[in-house]
Structure 1
Amino acid sequence: MAPGSEINKASKLKTLLLKYRAEIGKVVALDLNAANVIKLDFSQANALLTTEALQQTETFDKLVNQMLQEKEAVAGIGGYLENRIIYRRSNLFEETEPRSMHLGIDIWTAGGTSVFAPLPGLVHSFQNNASFGDYGPTIILQHQLEDLIFYTLYGHLNVACLEDLKEGQTIEKGQRIAAFGPFPENGDWPPHLHFQLITDLKGMRGDFPGVCKPSEKESFATSCPDPNLILQSRHL
Structure 2
Amino acid sequence: MLLTSFQLFLKTLHAHAVVDVSITKEAYVSLDLSVGNSELKQVNVSSSKDLKNYIWNYKKQNKAKIAFGGYLEQRGIYQRSTYFNQENSKKERNIHLGIDLWIEAGTPICAPLNGTIHSFKNNTNHGDYGPTLILKHHIENQIFYTLYGHLSLASITDLEIGVEVKQGEQIATLGTVDVNGDYPPHLHFQIIRDIKDYKGDYPGVSNQLDFEFYKQNCPDPNLLLKL
Q: TM-score, normalised by structure 2?
A: 0.91
Offset at residue 30 of structure 1 (A): 4.5
Three-state SS of the structure 2 residue aligned to 1:62 is helix
Question: How do 1:131-170 residues align onto structure 2 when only pairs under 5 Å count?
Answer: 131-170=125-164
Three-state SS of the structure 2 residue aligned to 1:215 is coil
Mapped contact 2:23–2:65 kept (Cα < 8 A): no
Offset at residue 108 of structure 1 (A): 0.6
Q: In the alignment, does 2:203 pair up with 1:209? A: yes
Matched-pair identity in % = 41
Higher share in helix? 1
Mapped contact 1:53–1:63 kept (Cα < 8 A): no
Mapped partners of 2:120, 2:11: distance in 1: 28
Structure 1: which 5+ residue stretches go unaligned? Answer: 1-9
Question: How do 1:114-193 residues align onto structure 2 when only pairs under 5 Å count?
Answer: 114-193=108-187
Offset at residue 15 of structure 1 (A): 3.0
Mapped contact 1:150–1:200 kept (Cα < 8 A): yes
**Residues 110 and 71 of structure 1: is their aligned pair in 2 closer, same or farther, counting only changes over 3 Å?**
same
Amino acid at match of 1:81: L
Mapped contact 1:81–1:217 kept (Cα < 8 A): no
Offset at residue 50 of structure 1 (A): 3.7
Aligned to 1:27: 18
**Residues 221 and 104 of structure 1: is their aligned pair in 2 closer, same or farther, counting only changes over 3 Å?**
same
Aligned to 1:5: none
Offset at residue 14 of structure 1 (A): 2.1
- Quote the RMSD (CA, aligned, Å): 1.8
**Residues 68 and 111 of structure 1: is their aligned pair in 2 closer, same or farther, counting only changes over 3 Å?**
same
Mapped partners of 1:108, 1:204: distance in 2: 26
Q: In the alignment, does 2:38 pair up with 1:17? A: no
Q: In the alignment, does 2:45 pair up with 1:54? A: yes
Aligned to 1:232: 226
Q: TM-score, normalised by structure 1?
A: 0.88
Q: List per-residue Cα deviations over 1:105-131 (Å, max 9, x = no partner).
A: 000111111110111111100000011
Offset at residue 33 of structure 1 (A): 5.9
Offset at residue 32 of structure 1 (A): 7.1
Structure 2: which 5+ residue stretches go unaligned? Answer: none
